[in-house]
Structure 1
Amino acid sequence: MTFFALGVNHHTASVELRERVAFNAERLGDLLLQQAQQSDLNDLVVVSTCNRTEIYANAENHDVLLHWLANTNGIDIHHLMNHVYRYENIQAVSHLMRVASGLDSLMLGEPQILGQVKTALSLAKEKGTVSTALGRIFDYAFYAAKRVRSETAVGSHAVSMGYSVAQLALQVFSHPEKLVVMVVAAGEMNSLVAKHMADLGVAKILICNRGAERAQQLASEISAHVDVEIIPFNALADHLHRADVISSCTGSLHQVIEFKPIKKALKQRRYQQMLLVDLAVPRDIDPEVDSLDGVYLYGVDDLQSVIEDNLAQRRQAAVEAEIMVNQLATQLVSQQKIKRAGGVVAAYRDSGHHLQQQELALALAQLEQGENPAEVMQNFAHRLTNKLLHPTSLLLREAAKEDEPEYFDWLKENLQEILVNGRAAKKNKH
């Protein structure tokens, strides 16, 4: 069996194709349950996210993976072949490690993918499609991801607007647990801001949105982690003084947070500092508020500059992470080879021990018959040595016949090294 990785991702396939090969958890669970009963492909894990669908499997060949992916999604296999990538053994292990570490993500170093890979493994285990060997590969990939996270700076710099706002708040305020945060508009951008702020453990999040339904939806998504209050959009100015941090992203053609209301809010707050983040284009917040003492105003361009700098640092750190992943992948594959060789080594040693007992029994019988002890021992040593060396001699002769001289040279050099080391060890012992 060979370990394969096969799939499509944001590098190789359009959104349309990625949508066609994507699996939801329920459908994938049913398919894995069926696959557990098959003989050609029953040791696999499928990772399916918005940016990738990948199969990791121990199988006879990668064709069976390709046919399975095409057939389960009703896609012409010849079309799919133009977009899939295939890796095997050490390259497949390395790819899995890169994916789990966030090195292959659309957003370099993003942490969510590790949880998604772990979820995929759990589902496959639940449905019975994970052998001990495959599970060990994934465990080692998670170990690699942890090493990348803890020993490199790949994931330590903010590279999304939402996360950047949260990190900015930590720079301005020393006690996040006391903060009241207001998000003006509950779209995708501010939803991420709210979720990152909730993760910081802020005291409260105020949601101000034109539509109540979307505000309620966001509130339900974060209310388990933080106290949430929904305020009417037409009452925005009345609640500005309550917020330490305001993130606005309405998409309005006009400014929704003006200079005078912020000046009034500052006075109501007794001039305690405020952090205002304007994620909208056109801008939501009057840029003149930046002139007020105690107000920190950041716009999209400010944050984008920070993100670009941080992304550059991530790319630099990724070089170190790639080296680490390659080393760990090589280490795992070497361990697997040694483990597989263990059975062969044990059988070889058993064979040698059996020959030893045969020759020893013959020598003892000759001694009992009164034969010359010196001749008996000399014959014993001669026969045993010949029988033990016969497999190695045969292997060398067969290697010399092959068309690839490198194999014979490798055997010869390693045998010579073993003999030299053996003589040196014997000499040191005496």
Structure 2
Amino acid sequence: MEGLTLIGVSHRRGGIAALESWHDAFPESGLGERLGLVGVRAWALVATCNRWDVVLVRPAGVGLERVRSALTPARSTRKPYAYDGEAALEHLARVAASLESLNPGEDQIMRQVRDAYAAARAAGRGDAELAFAFDTALRLAKQVRREIALAPLHTSLFSLARADVEAALNGGAHAVVLGAGEMGGLAARALRSIPNVMLTIVNRGHERALGLAAKVEADVCDLEHFLAHPLEARVLVSAAPLRGRLERSVLERVAGLRLVVDLGIPRSVDPADAPEGVRILGVDGLREAGEARRAALVDRLADAERLLRSGLDEAVGAWNERALAPAIRALVEHYTQLVGDALPAHEAERLARAVARVPIKGLRAVAREHGLAAAATFLAETGLPRTPDLEASRGI
């Protein structure tokens, strides 16, 4: 697992401006060519309104900093965070389990991680190491969700805005959701659960909007029509990457508007463009509510951390055991050959296994504590005439 690497930025560790910068600089459509310049062929992108993370496998001889530099926008004054080996696996598992989310326990991220890996496989960008990382992260995330009650079902980033939304609606009014994707759907369902709310779904694609509207009993409006002829609304939720299209001139024509919840990346509205009496609540503004939830969940989050750590230890141990299997066989064969014909075959093998027990135990300990590269060095010191290539075992 020496080549497993995770590089990215998140709202919690960089802020909204950094997220926009990385989303703009490295869209998925051009990322493969960029990574190909440094020899990376296996990778998956987890890009959401809360993070931009690339999980990849570095080829032998390609250093972490080289890949990190390739994934840093030109003229950027900051670098993305970077993890490799077991640390990369741990971070991916934390992301999938929503422990790194702005709203801990939210449902959406596990599906987004699963979809990211499915897209990588469909595009031929997977390998055994990447498969191990995502399979392990998703399995542990499911276990955390099943055993630790972090949040109710359908909790999302929008859930952090619910109190502000209810206050703005003040017992019932018209709300508009821009976007009919997953986040738009979560926002629409949350709004539908508020009594006396009239709801409209605005989207570019009419069929998708109709599908969501049927589920939440909402009206439908085309995006371009809405921007030209805004509807009356007390609350406007942007769950689509509209990149500044909710200009002041649009918002001023939304009769009765009190609150805009902007969940899009890039942002749909510039807070400086807010008309008088209209509050813009973006992802930055939701951070305080997210940290308050995190503080309230401190004990349960600690339980989730322990569960995750235990599962990671077990998974990494199993991975190392598979990678070490050829070396362990070679050790036993080496000592069996040293005994030669002095003993019957079954006695020779039994003695060889007994003699090999100590170096095998040391090999496993070195691999667990210091990685397969260190284990390969340890193995070379055993005096084996043919030392198995542990690096080649990365492709198991």
Aligned pair 1:55/2:44, yes or no? no
Contact 1:352 1:388 in 2 (8 A): no
Residues 119 and 391 (structure 1), Cα distance of their counterparts in 2 relative to 1, 3 Å cut: closer
Q: Helix, strand or coil for the counterpart of 1:102? A: coil
User: TM-score scaled to structure 1, two decimals?
Assistant: 0.53
The match for 1:80 among 78, 81, 93 is 78
Once the two structures are superposed, residues 201-233 of structure 1 have per-residue CA deviations (whole angstroms, 9 ceiling, x without a partner) of x9x984379xx999x9995472242443479xx
Q: Secondary structure at the match of 1:104?
A: coil
State yes or no: 1:207 paired with 2:208: no
Q: Which has the higher contact order (CA 8 A, sep 6+)?
A: 2
Specify whether residues 90 and 31 from structure 1 end up closer, same or farther in structure 2 by C-alpha distance, changes over 3 A only. closer
* Cα separation, 2, equivalents of 1:52 and 1:190: 18
CA distance in 1, matches of 2:25, 2:74: 16
Show CA shifts across 1:244-283 (max 9, x none). Answer: xxx964899xx98xxxxxxxxxxxxxxxxxxxxxxxx989
In structure 1, give the amino acid aligned to 2:329.
A
Aligned-pair CA distance for 1:312: 4.8
* Aligned CA distance change for structure 1 residues 137 and 23 (closer, same or farther; 3 Å): farther
TM-score of the two chains, using structure 2 as the length reference:
0.57
* Partner deviation per Cα, 1:261-312 (whole Å, 9 max, x = no partner): xxxxxxxxxxxxxxxxxxxx989xxxxxxxxxxxxxxxxxxxxxx9998655
Rounded Cα–Cα distance in structure 2 between residues aligned with 1:56 and 1:121: 9
CA displacement 1:82-114 (0-9 Å, x = unmatched): xx2222222221111111111101122222111
Q: Deviations over 1:107-140 (max 9, x none)?
A: 2222211122122212221222221121111111
Structure 2 residue 43 is matched with structure 1 residue 44: yes
Residue identity matched to 2:46:
V
Would you say the 8 A contact 1:190–1:249 is kept in 2? no
Structure 2 residue 175 is matched with structure 1 residue 185? yes
8 Å CA contact 1:100–1:142 kept in 2: the answer is: yes
Measure how far apart 1:345 and its partner are: 0.7
The number of aligned residues is 289
- From the two aligned structures, give the one with the greater helix fraction: 1
Residues 217 and 3 of structure 1: CA distance in aligned 2, closer, same or farther (over 3 Å): same
Which residue is equivalent to 2:218?
A: 228
User: What is the aligned-residue identity percentage?
Assistant: 21
Amino acid aligned to 2:13: T
Mapped to 2, the partners of 1:225 and 1:89 lie a distance apart of 43
Q: Displacement of 1:390 after TM fit?
A: 9.8
Tell me the equivalent position of 1:69: 71
1:131 aligns with 2:130: no
2-side partners of 1:348 and 1:165: how far apart?
62
Q: Mind listing any 5+ residue stretches in structure 2 that lack a counterpart? A: 222-232, 237-250, 257-275, 279-288, 363-373, 379-396
In the alignment, does 2:140 pair up with 1:144? yes
1:93-172 counterparts in 2 under 5 A? 93-156=89-152
Instruction: List alignment gaps of at least 5 residues for structure 1.
Output: 170-180, 232-246, 257-280, 284-305, 364-379, 397-406, 412-430
Structure 2 residue identity aligned to 1:45: A
Tell whether the 8 Å contact from 1:4 to 1:89 is kept in structure 2 after alignment.
yes
**Rg larger in structure:** 1
Aligned residue in 2 for 1:414: none
| Contact 1:18/1:53 (8 A) holds in 2 | yes
Q: What are the equivalent positions in structure 2 for 1:359-378 lying under 5 Å apart?
A: 359-360=342-343
Cα offset for 1:16?
Answer: 2.5
Residue 195 of structure 1: which of 183, 189, 200 is its match?
189
Residue of structure 2 in register with 1:347 after alignment: 330
For residues 243-262 of structure 1, what are the structure 2 equivalents within 5 Å? 249=235
Please report the RMSD computed on the Cα atoms of aligned residues, expressed in angstroms: 5.0
